[in-house]
Amino acid sequence: MTGVATGPPEPVQIDVHLRDGTLASLADDVRSGLSRNPRELPPKYFYDARGSELFERITELPEYYPSQIEQDILDVAGQAIVELVRPQEIVELGPGSARKTTALLNPMIELGLGTRYVPVDVSESAVQDCAERLVATYDSLAVHGVVGDFERHLDRVPPASGRRLIAFLGGTIGNLDHPRRSVLLRALRAQLVPGDRLLVGTDLVKDRERLEAAYNDSAGVTAEFNRNMLRVINAHLDGDLDPDLFDHVAFYNEHARRIEMWLRAREDMSVRIEALEMEVDFEAGEEMRTEISCKFTRESLVREYRDAGLELVSWYTDPDGLFALSLAGPAGDGDR
Ligand code: SAH
Ligand code: AVI
């Protein structure tokens, strides 16, 4: 006998594709983002361990309705979605804590359809924590986590073990602008085989007051989340940006149908980002954009799906039409 290990497969496997690449892409993105006018930084850099934790706190704020409403929709429709798709595995893009995903995992496992879950997130702590929690919750679940960027590492998602439901919850797709959404939706379409489905959570167009309140909470958690981008730059690129010298700004751009988050310099300052050998001057009042959060209608999504070779299969929303989950599949694969 050779010493070949036998027995059941490990319940958790995590592939890390970012540690090496992160610094390079953060450096490139910060260098080019700070050289632009207006300055702009990609929102994926909010999410180190602290940023992921701050986002979790955002989901509990009374003003931040998307998380609770999406949870309510999933509580009502999760079982029906799983019965319709009959997935053998769930891949999730940007799961964060994956709390809402149990509304899909429960029926998949209880109906005996499948036992594999593949979370794909830039936050290593998010992937680790959700994997540990989920295997402790479900005896039969195998988690194959991918610490990676869903815009760069979709090819690292392990091959499908059967019919796949790709979940992209929370409205995170809205943090990409239209051209990037289009690239991502096409890449996702290319991964789907007949029978596979994509389940996307999107925040819907609504009155300005409600939208702006969700991004300007009275406890100031969103402001801290916004400033966390500066801490991430300081930590990874040896910068000396002072988060206390930037104000959080968030407003609804009605024309573009999106919330925009900015950081506004409180005073004239000069900052140094050592790893980039870069000196950056800010004038008092100067702003840099840290996030867009696009809002959708059913029509706008149907159009984007169609342009990516996808077709809307079902639409789930709350009674007030605040948030929606849409199930899409390859065009022409509607009545499997
Ligand atoms: N889906 C969860 C979390 C949303 S927060 C919910 O609905 O509550 C957004 C999540 O997406 C974070 O966990 C963040 O780390 C992850 N994320 C953001 N940009 C990403 C990217 N480009 N690639 C992979 N994950 C990303
Ligand atoms: C993750 N994403 C969908 C959130 C949003 O609403 O755009 C991130 C967020 N930014 C501020 N609050 C929450």
Residue located nearest, by CA, to atom 9 of ligand 2: 55
Confidence of residue 4 (pLDDT cuts 50, 70, 90): low
User: Are the C-beta atoms of residues 154 and 275 closer than 8 Å to each other?
Assistant: no
User: Are the C-beta atoms of residues 12 and 132 closer than 8 Å to each other?
Assistant: yes
**In this structure, what DSSP letter does residue 296 have?**
B
Name, in order, each residue with C-beta under 8 angstroms of 255's C-beta and a sequence gap of 6 or more: none
**Side chain identity, residue 118:** V
User: Are the C-beta atoms of residues 178 and 133 closer than 8 Å to each other?
Assistant: no
Whether 54 is in the pocket of ligand 1, judged by its Cβ within 6 Å, is no
DSSP 260-289: EEEEEESS-EEEEEGGGTEEEEE-TT-EEE
Mean pLDDT of 83-104: 98
Q: Give the distance (Å) from ligand 2 centre to CA of residue 225.
A: 10
Confidence of residue 335 (pLDDT cuts 50, 70, 90): low
Confidence of residue 5 (pLDDT cuts 50, 70, 90): low
Name, in order, each residue with C-beta under 8 angstroms of 20's C-beta and a sequence gap of 6 or more: none
Mean pLDDT of 246-272: 98
Whether 173 is in the pocket of ligand 1, judged by its Cβ within 6 Å, is no
| Ligand 2 pocket mutation pick from 293, 294, 322 by most atoms within 8 angstroms of CB | 293
Residue 13 has pLDDT above 90, yes or no: yes
Strand partners, 265: 246
Spell out the alpha helix ranges (H) of the chain. Answer: 19-35, 49-59, 65-85, 102-110, 124-137, 178-191, 208-214, 221-237, 298-307
Confidence of residue 204 (pLDDT cuts 50, 70, 90): very high
Mean pLDDT of 41-65: 96
Strand partners, 198: 166, 328
Tell me how far apart the alpha carbons of residues 153 and 16 are, in angstroms, rounded to a whole number.
11
Backbone angles phi, psi at 147, to 5 degrees: -90, 100
Name the helix (H) or strand (E) containing 319.
Answer: none
pTM for the complete prediction?
0.96
Beta strand 258-265 pairing with 246-253: antiparallel
Strand partners, 91: 118, 166
Residue 309 has pLDDT above 50, yes or no: yes
Angle among Cα 207, 209, 212 to the nearest 5 degrees reads 110
Tell me how far apart the alpha carbons of residues 42 and 304 are, in angstroms, rounded to a whole number.
22
**Cα dist. 72→68, 130, 316, 325 in Å?**
6, 20, 11, 11
Picking from 276, 274, 229, 255, the residue whose alpha carbon sits closest to that of residue 40 is 229
Tell me how far apart the alpha carbons of residues 287 and 284 are, in angstroms, rounded to a whole number.
9
Tell me how far apart the alpha carbons of residues 285 and 237 are, in angstroms, rounded to a whole number.
24
Give the model confidence (pLDDT) of 185-194 as tens digits.
999 999 999 9
Whether 175 is in the pocket of ligand 2, judged by its Cβ within 6 Å, is yes
Q: What is the pLDDT of residue 3?
A: 47
**Cα dist. 26→22, 31, 37, 295 in Å?**
6, 8, 18, 27
Place of tokens 């789930």: 316
Whether 138 is in the pocket of ligand 1, judged by its Cβ within 6 Å, is no
Residue located nearest, by CA, to atom 5 of ligand 2: 293
Q: Give the distance (Å) from ligand 2 centre to CA of residue 42.
A: 13
Residue 7 has pLDDT above 90, yes or no: no
Give the model confidence (pLDDT) of 209-246 as tens digits.
999 999 999 999 999 999 999 999 999 999 999 999 99
Confidence of residue 10 (pLDDT cuts 50, 70, 90): confident
